Structure 1
């Protein structure tokens, strides 16, 4: 049987942070079970989940369509921004989207929102992107709902001119207010202006039965109670992951709009290279290669170390051979594996720190087994004296990026990061994002609050969750391990409802933070590789990909760990 004539082009996963509860693997599995050949991820103003989604989709034979549901500034009324979906057609489109999202986060916030302006779109360029009009949340939809056809047509002309041949008018049916009026008006405008129409479905959760859990998630993020009659209710229980058949039935009157969802999927052909490393360019003297410069610096550095270790010249001559042999072996391996730049970059900022009054640790972890690191001043332990093995740190048979754990004095660490920013350019350097999740104990408290259950009641129940190795057990394991929990779930309806909702939200992404020590240095503009995020409009900048994902796309992480003992 052939695949249904529909592809989902709108999906808010858990990485939309405030209002999606779809786990990426579940979304891909659902697309596979519905025989959909492709699936889009369009989280709200971010690409946090992009690398994970790309890998899951490719590994399961699904074509990943990558984009974002972005907020567009409304110059006339800043309190009412518009929405637009941007999908990447190519690598160029991916870079444009990274640049646009980064600019939005680095610009001053509008009522706490990161917004893309029309000026940004023109400056960055959009020829690698496809735009969907945003249906009722877009500026065209707003004009149509107000009965202003002339304004709607003029706005549509603007977008069609900007996204030449890649702008689609969106129609949706998920039980929203004035649904049919908007569908018929949008279809009429599309016919009148000869613009393509596309049917989309804004997926916020996987199953119809997840609606209440999704509402709880929104309330947790926005500080409302579930039962509050005054809280905004923009979502409906129809926003689950519908099958192609369900969508075909829903839009039986607009078959071309269904076909265009497949056409858009055909037009998006973004391929991302994973697993190849891109080191920043380390400046070497004119005409000297990185490899030669590493050999040169390591030899000079080793000479200095040997003079410290063996001040007596005849003793030095007797001890030299094993050091020279080890240095030769290590430099050959480092060069063969393509990492001379990495060692030179790390040595440069560590030696700057030492010269400029920032205490640095002596080195720990497997990196302390390298004579080259010792010679360059990265570590301060003589590996031969302590019989430390270089192969534990770098091994040609197990190719992975070298990784030095470097401790800096807590109070001066920022100065070293600032030096790196100056040297490689602010646009090439950022820290790394981390995602906080809803652990079993925390999710019980969060869900209890939005259900308006007494604090002590929820606190008491969450404390019944056993802790192992400093981590609370998952809800399922806790119920199996703690008889009191099982008994209360069986006997008390409130506890049963609390656990049912909490289980659906457990371990979802709850908030965005910053990695304690990781710093990225890119070869050129960081946004050519991944977008950046800032919680406060440019104060602290982090990558939108976490530490595993930045390494997958080839950016190199340097650890700048703050250690109070060195202060």
Structure 2
């Protein structure tokens, strides 16, 4: 069976006719209205054992979808419908579809999406550059050509078949054995003939280059009755009203959730394209570990462990604090045992819970702020009860003087992420954020 959930809640068929690999949910801000729970329920009702979410230029709904699908015993496939920059005409970008095969592919997709938003936006679109796949590789990602909206589809529409062949060959080189030519049948009325011409040309390219063809169905809404609501959504994003006869109409009434039987009937003449949708679902095996905290690795000198470095830094910092608190050497010596005992207790708890790196990171940027003229508050909240925080310079209040409890901040019997409340002067706050 395709599902990866350890506790499937449904009896799903072993040999599906088709798997949906395209869907714009409500997280596709400009053109989606599909609610994730409804989407997953439709798949469950159709006994579809796997399902993909491929929102436009984002992964906003990925975790919600992943949880919902796994909860129903359905294998979740994460991907993204992305804009591809057209260097010859920025106003005519193409679209391709990326699906995550593995965790490496998921991380790469996240990296490329961030890069697009940060460095290559045009008219509100975050566009990928083809050369990024050369620079960063394509490990863990499957590529679908984008059907008629892809660069190959646009070349076919312009009757530039030699370019279409070249593009297909280039993509296959970048995504060896992970590139699929994509076909769809959602057109209505006069557009059907253009759609069939495209499909015929794709089959010619596939035969010439020995490339697989996959059938997809771009879901934009759940039922046919939702079409008008979807049109209203697109009008809002494009600045039109429904009654405007001049408005662009980029979607059809056919783009609802069709069953396996519906799609199998549509592509009865292309059984291999149906089979490849199932094959792709089998190849996509991304597993996410949720609910686990991941902290950056703090660089330590001489490859010292985080735990050892935290202890040495805290002890050194405590020496300096005590010299200020108790200038008299005899009084300082009489007080030292109490502070040492508290420090040892706290460092043991911090290291046991795996938060040494967190303390070192926070201490690093707070001390950077202090050394660079950014005023920092003395401490607020339960974090002020930590002698380690005081020793590292995170806080400036002596916890023992005020009988503050460390356990309110960090307690091995109540495992949760520590959270320092830190106040920076607003005039220097952005500099600290840039440093972090």
Residue 287 of structure 1, CA deviation = 5.5
Are residue 20 (structure 1) and residue 36 (structure 2) matched?
A: no
Aligned position for 1:145: 157
> Per-residue deviation at 1:329?
0.9
Shift of 1:296: 2.1
Whether 2:392 is the aligned partner of 1:387: answer: no
What residue number does 2:252 align with? 236
Partner of 2:4: none
Q: 2:51 maps to what in 1?
A: 39
How many angstroms apart in 1 are the aligned matches of 2:55 and 2:234?
A: 15
Unpaired runs of at least 5, structure 1? 421-567
- 1:229, distance to aligned residue in structure 2 (A): 1.6
Which whole-Å CA distance do the structure 1 matches of 2:237 and 2:36 have between them? 20
Query: 2:341 aligns to what?
Result: 325
Aligned counterparts of 2:243 and 2:183: Cα–Cα separation in 1: 31
Q: What's the offset of the Cα at 1:8? A: 0.7
Give the CA deviation at 1:334. Answer: 0.6
Pairs within 5 Å for 1:416-431: 416-420=432-436
Q: Equivalent residues in 2 for 1:256-271 (5 A)? A: 256-271=272-287
The number of equivalent residue pairs is 420
1:19 and 1:217 in contact (8 A); partners too? yes
Residue 392 of structure 2 aligns with which residue?
Answer: 376
8 Å CA contact 2:374–2:429 kept in 1: the answer is yes
Task: Provide the C-alpha distance between the structure 1 equivalents of 2:308 and 2:143, rounded to a whole number of angstroms.
Answer: 49
Alignment counterpart, residue 132 of structure 2, candidates 112, 120, 124: 120
Deviation at 1:316, TM superposition (A): 4.1
Q: Please state how far the C-alpha of 1:135 moved relative to its aligned partner.
A: 0.9
Please report how far the alpha carbon of residue 318 of structure 1 lies from its aligned counterpart in structure 2 after TM superposition.
Answer: 4.7
Whether the aligned pair in 2 keeps the contact of 1:41 and 1:65 (CA below 8 Å) is yes
* Whole-angstrom distance in 2 between the partners of 1:142 and 1:239: 21
CA deviation vs aligned residue, 1:532-564 (integer Å, no higher than 9, x gap)? xxxxxxxxxxxxxxxxxxxxxxxxxxxxxxxxx
| Superposed CA offset, 1:269-310 (max 9, x none) | 222333444433323332643222222222232333334444
Deviation at 1:254, TM superposition (A): 1.8
CA distance in 2: counterparts of 1:328 and 1:17, whole angstroms: 52
Alignment of 1:242-253 (within 5 A): 242-253=258-269
SS at match of 1:386: coil
1:334 aligned partner: 350
CA distance in 2 between partners of 1:320 and 1:161 (Å): 67
Equivalent residue, structure 2, for 1:222: 238
**Is residue 2:232 matched to residue 1:200?**
no
CA contact (8 A) 1:171 1:199 kept: yes
Alignment of 1:410-421 (within 5 A): 410-420=426-436
Please give the alpha-carbon distance, in whole angstroms, between the structure 2 residues aligned to 1:338 and 1:70: 38
Determine which of 200, 206, 211 is the counterpart of 1:184. Answer: 200
Alignment equivalent of 1:78, drawn from 81, 90, 93: 90
In the TM superposition, residue 173 of structure 1 has moved relative to its aligned partner by: 1.5
- Tell me if structure 1 keeps the 8 A contact 2:120–2:128: no
Deviates more, 1:159-168 or 1:175-184: 175-184
Select between 186-195 and 2-11 the one with higher mean Cα deviation. Answer: 186-195
2 CA distance for matches of 1:329 and 1:59?
41
**C-alpha distance in 2 between matches for 1:289 and 1:191:** 57
User: 8 Å contact 2:20–2:217 — kept in the other structure?
Assistant: yes
In the TM superposition, residue 402 of structure 1 has moved relative to its aligned partner by: 1.6
C-alpha distance in structure 1 between counterparts of 2:346 and 2:44, whole Å: 47
> Which structure has the highest strand share of the two?
1
Question: Matches of 2:381 and 2:45 in 1, distance apart?
Answer: 45
Contact conserved, 1:99 with 1:124, CA < 8 A, in 2? Answer: no
Q: Secondary structure at the match of 2:165?
A: helix
Over 3 Å counting, the alpha-carbon distance change for 1:217 and 1:386 in structure 2 is farther
TM-score (norm 1): 0.69
Please state whether the residue corresponding to 1:266 is helix, strand or coil: helix
1:317, distance to aligned residue in structure 2 (A): 4.5
Superposed displacement of residue 9, structure 1: 0.5
Higher mean Cα deviation, 130-139 or 156-165?
A: 156-165
C-alpha separation in 2, matches of 1:354 and 1:158: 53
1:273 corresponds to: 289
Which structure has more relative contact order (CA 8 Å, sep 6+)? It is 1
Deviations, residues 82-121 of structure 1 (Å, cap 9, x unaligned): 1111112223322332333233223243343222222112
Q: Helix, strand or coil for the counterpart of 2:342?
A: helix
TM-score of the pair, normalised by structure 2: 0.88
* Structure 2, unpaired ranges of 5+: 1-11
Per-residue Cα deviation, 1:225-255 (whole angstroms, up to 9, x for no partner): 2222221110122212222122122222222
Q: Matched residue of 2:182: which SS?
A: strand
User: Is 1:302 aligned to residue 332 of structure 2?
Assistant: no
User: How much has 1:354 moved relative to structure 2?
Assistant: 1.6
The CA distance in 2 between the partners of 1:287 and 1:105, in whole Å, is 36
Q: In the aligned structure 2, how far is the partner of 1:328 from the partner of 1:113?
A: 53
Secondary structure at the counterpart of residue 83 of structure 2: strand
Q: Distance in 1 between matches of 2:367 and 2:38?
A: 48
8 Å CA contact retained: 1:205, 1:240: yes
Query: In 2, are the aligned partners of 1:45 and 1:101 still within 8 Å (CA)?
Result: yes
**Does the CA-based 8 Å contact 2:120-2:127 persist in structure 1?**
no
- Deviation, 1:262, is 0.2
Partner of 1:352: 368
Find the counterpart in structure 2 of residue 499 from structure 1: none
* Distance (Å, rounded) in 2 between the aligned partners of 1:280 and 1:154: 43
Over 3 Å counting, the alpha-carbon distance change for 1:320 and 1:164 in structure 2 is closer
- Change in Cα spacing, 1:127 to 1:366, as seen in structure 2 (3 Å) is same
